[in-house]
Chain A
Amino acid sequence: MSASEAGPQKRPRPLSPHLQIYRPEISSVLSVFHRGTGMVLTLGTLLLGWWVIAAAVGPDAYETAQRFLGSWLGLPMLFGWSVALFYHLCSGIRHLLWDAGWGYDLATMQKTGYAVLIGTGVLTLLAWIAGLVAW
């Protein structure tokens, strides 16, 4: 590049294809969700821990934990955690099948991908309907 090059500033170009370039695909989106739900689950285990420890400590502590979990703040957290759990479970099984060597070709990969999304929805729906019935 010669120093005498003047002219209009060129738009800085990305060094390698990145999020601005690639269209979201079932493969990449499900992969990042698998990681994201994993992180959410790890954090949510703190909530589960509080609930279990409260059950051991006594009725007052347990009452506080139950009230929070049923509150306008706690219930969405619980719902989010359950979605993350079912997603990570279905996506995890898909990963384990890959680890066993099955399902790498594109057509199968896309089918199992959609199966994960459908499975997550079905399991979440079933669990929460059962939960409302049991409540």
Chain B
Amino acid sequence: MTTSKDAPLRNPLARARGLGSARSGFQHWRTLRVTALALIPLTIWFVIAVIAHLGAPLPELRAWIGHPINAALFILFIAIGLHHGAHGMTEVYEDYIHGHHAKLIADLATKGAALFLGAAMIVSVLEIAIPG
């Protein structure tokens, strides 16, 4: 509560030190749930797809990924899955890592790794899907 209307009710030191609600807590909770909902059908699709293509020769796998619908679903599975996982790990760090700096480093490293892996995997799928 940092609007000028509420400021007189807050201790100025608390306000200066940034204590109190982070205000974005609900968004974090909601992101986890919305991505979870999307991942239910995506995961079912992914499992069926992987089983159908176990041990398939590479050209056959590439042909399957190359189909626009399969490529789109695969990219969505990767992106939403990594997003869900990164946010989930944030909750783990918030619970178990108590040092302020250690928590920040762990969180940023995880999000960075998720971004990098996501980008690499999506580019890979696109390279297979887009001819030439």
Contact = CB atoms under 8 A, between A and B. Distances in A.
Interface of A: 35, 38-39, 41-42, 45-46, 48-49, 52-53, 55-57, 59, 62-63, 66, 82, 85, 89, 92-93, 95-96, 99, 127, 130-131, 134-135
Interface of A is mostly: helix
A49 B88 CA distance: 19
B52 A35 contact: no
B54 A135 contact: yes
Given A42-B88, A99-B33, A53 B51 contact: no
A53 B120 CA distance: 7
Contact of A89 (B43, B61, B120, B124): B43
A49 B121 contact: yes
Given A38-B89, A41-B85, 16 more contacts: A38-B85, A45-B85, A46-B117, A52-B74, A52-B121, A53-B120, A55-B61, A55-B62, A56-B125, A62-B61, A85-B47, A92-B39, A93-B40, A134-B51, A134-B55, A135-B55
Interface of B is mostly: helix
Interface residues on B, range: 20 to 34
B16 interface: no
B124 A56 contact: yes
Contacts of B62: 55
